[in-house]
Structure 1
Amino acid sequence: MKKYLLDSNIFIQAHRMHYPFDVFPSFWNKLIELSDKDLIISIDKVKKELCDNSTQDDLSIWCSQTISDNFFQDSSSCIDKYAEIAVWTSNQTHFQQNAKDEFLSTDLADPWLIAYAIKNDCIIVTHEISQPQRKNRIKIPEPCMHFGVSYITPIQMLRDLNQTL
């Protein structure tokens, strides 16, 4: 069974908008349960996006203290796939240069998520949707489609895993 690889926006949007910790602890407990069953993972770059901010909030505390240490996988072994994504990005004439630069910036997890998914045959879970006409930002679905990486929403993931909250 393929593992589900979670994007930063899954956590951020859940925390800020849809499933705050104080109202929906079941959502966060479900993530822990699925992680403990080794069905869902994320990568170290996502943890960096979630935890490396100047002020700690409930989300950064949850990521650093509650979810298992092995949930955030080391992405350094995917440098070869990241390089392929970088070449693809550089060769795209559709996107503006600032979109390419932002996508490949060292702090952005998106290309590393795709690289990890390619190398480890994972399904990316993200709220991002394809916007092929957009020129000023590279969204996860566009390189996923090029590299044959599946991506779905968190609701689709929960349905695939036959889970309820």
Structure 2
Amino acid sequence: MSKYLLDSNVFIQAHRMHYPFDVVPSFWDKLITLSDDDVIFSIDKVKKELYDHQNPDILGKWCHNDIKSNFFVDSSNCIDKYGLIANWAVANNHHYKQTAIDEFLSPDLADPWLIAYAMKNNNVIVTYEVSRPEMKAKIKIPEPCNHFGVRFITPIEMFRELKEKF
């Protein structure tokens, strides 16, 4: 069975909009259970997008205190796949604006590393991003995923596949 690799927006949108900690704690408990069962995980660069060490919010504190310490794995071993993704982005300069390519390849953005990790390890990316191939101002996760054959689904699709309820 493939493991599910969670994008930053799964946590951010859940925290801010869909499943706030104080209203739907069972969502966060379910993530902990799925993590403990080694069904879901994420990468170090996602944690960096979620956790401000200087001034952590409730989501940052959850990442630091509640989810298991090895939930956010090191993505540096995916440099070969990252290179393929970077080459793809640069080669698509006829479609995407240079600012979109620069943003996508910025060192702090988790998206290309998430895709690289999924490519290398045959994981399913879980994200709220949807395919928008006509978009020129931003490279969204689905476009390189479609190009490289990396599967991506929404959080609700993941829960349905796992037959999980919270």
TM-score under structure 1 length normalisation:
0.98
Write the distance in 1 (CA, Å) between the matches of 2:87 and 2:54.
Answer: 33
Letter in 2 for 1:139: K
User: Is it true that 1:142 corresponds to 2:148 in the alignment?
Assistant: no
Aligned equivalent of 1:14: 14
Q: CA distance change for structure 1 residues 127 and 53 in 2, over 3 Å: closer, same or farther?
A: farther
Aligned equivalent of 1:55: 55
**3-state DSSP of counterpart to 1:49:** helix
**3-state DSSP of counterpart to 2:23:** coil
Letter in 2 for 1:145: N
What are the superposed Cα offsets for residues 62-117 of structure 1, whole Å, 9 maximum, x if unpaired? 00111001110100000110011000000002000000000000010000000000
Q: How many residues align?
A: 165
**3-state DSSP of counterpart to 1:69:** coil
Letter in 1 for 2:68: S
Q: CA RMSD in A?
A: 0.8
**3-state DSSP of counterpart to 1:42:** strand
User: Is it true that 1:101 corresponds to 2:107 in the alignment?
Assistant: no
Write the distance in 2 (CA, Å) between the matches of 1:98 and 1:54.
Answer: 29
| Counterparts of residues 146-161 of structure 1 (less than 5 Å) | 146-161=147-162
Write the distance in 2 (CA, Å) between the matches of 1:82 and 1:110.
Answer: 10
Write the distance in 1 (CA, Å) between the matches of 2:52 and 2:117.
Answer: 21
**3-state DSSP of counterpart to 2:140:** coil
Write the distance in 2 (CA, Å) between the matches of 1:116 and 1:8.
Answer: 14
Identity %: 65
- Structure 2: which 5+ residue stretches go unaligned? none
Write the distance in 1 (CA, Å) between the matches of 2:107 and 2:26.
Answer: 33
Aligned equivalent of 1:112: 113
TM-score under structure 2 length normalisation:
0.98
Letter in 2 for 1:58: I
Letter in 2 for 1:5: L
Aligned equivalent of 1:75: 75
Q: Which runs of 4+ in 1 moved over 3 A?
A: none
